Amino acid sequence: MTELQLLMYAAYAFLFVGTGYRAYRMAKMPVHLRWDLYPIPHEKGRGHYGGSYFEEVDWWTKPAEVSVQGELREMAKEIVFIQSMYHNNRRLWVFSFPFHFGLYLLVVFVLLIFLGAFLEVVGVPVSAEGNLLARSLYYVTIPLGLIGSALATLGALGLLVSRLTRVDLRRTSVRSDYFNLILLLAVFVSGLFAWGAEDVAYAQSRLFIARLISFQPAGPVSAAFATHLVLAALFMMYLPFTHMTHFVGKYFTYHKVRWEDSPNVKGSVLEKRINEALGYTVTWSAPHIKTGGTWAETATEVGTKNE
């Protein structure tokens, strides 16, 4: 194995294990504050106006009707089009949308590179002269990689300039925000350079991944391609330790906070989790909150004062 291959193995291990651990930690967090935020799109027949199955008479005797299509529709609007930013910060959305959409295209591009590499391993070369699947991969991969890299580069550059020039963004930005964008720009630009220099059909990329997944030593690669792989590997190893793992957190933010409207019934798992949360110690204070007691004691005390 070459040093570059060993680096890529380590990068993928960091990426999957680290991101999986972050997801595990998020899943084990205490139950959220039970303030259901309507509208909830999985409310079948009611999501469009912010209704709830709690409107039903004797709702606890009837099964809640859930609309999976409503959730998927709302998730697509947010994930693909970033609709909340479009409505609340249009100036930033102009660059955030191409940045994220470019990333989505690049994720698909990487998956297709791996699929093409697998075909190469089993003896099906990916080329313009191959079978239907091989030809399709060949012709689809090229525009995906190019357009994805170009959009992501444009978006990252715009976001970086926005953080440097807009007073409101400068005030809320920290050093890691700038570093993250610069590192991503380096990955995107090096990829475009490697593509333009000598890998316009991504044949070198497929060959390297084919050797990677078959655990065979890779042959020599160009300096441009090696530079791109090193930068990509460093980014994958760095990603799980940053707030960029918000792509995992979005699931919990929406499904376990904003849209979580399960009833708290006696003997349920939710009741157990709420009782556990009420037993946590209050570690901060305010005019209406004393530190040191449990949340149950604090809630009881505040409730008594308000009567």
Same structural domain, 134 and 180: yes
Question: How does pLDDT run across 26-85, given as a tens digit for each residue?
Answer: 999 888 877 667 888 988 888 888 888 888 888 888 888 888 888 889 989 999 999 999
Residue 97 is encoded by which pair of tokens? 């949308």
Residues 208 and 294 in one domain: no
What amino acid occupies position 289?
I
Residues 189 and 160 in one domain: yes
Same-domain pairing of 246 and 171: yes
* pLDDT of 306 higher than 70: no
Instruction: Quickly tell me which residue has 């044949």 as its tokens.
Output: 203
- Rounded to a whole number of angstroms, the distance between the first and last alpha carbons of the chain is 72
My answer on whether 127 and 10 are in the same domain is yes
**How many independent structural domains does the chain possess?**
2
- Write the pLDDT tens digit of every residue in 77-106: 999 999 999 999 999 999 999 999 999 999
- Amino acid making up residue 92: L
Answer yes or no: is 264 within a domain: no
Residue 284: is its pLDDT beyond 90? no
- pLDDT digit string (tens) for 166-202? 999 999 999 999 999 999 999 999 999 999 988 899 9
Residue (of 215, 156, 158, 160) closest to 184 by Cα position: 156
**pLDDT beyond 80 at 1:** no
CATH number of the domain within which 240 lies: 1.20.950.20
Q: At what angle do helices 203-213 and 90-121 cross, to 10 degrees?
A: 60
Q: What residues make up the domain containing 15?
A: 3-30+82-258
DSSP annotation of 199 reads: -
**How high is the pLDDT of residue 143?**
96
Q: Do residues 175 and 216 share a domain? A: yes
**Which neighbouring-strand residues pair with 66?**
43
In a domain, 40, yes or no: no
Instruction: Supply 157's token pair.
Output: 């550059």
Q: Are residues 233 and 292 in the same domain?
A: no
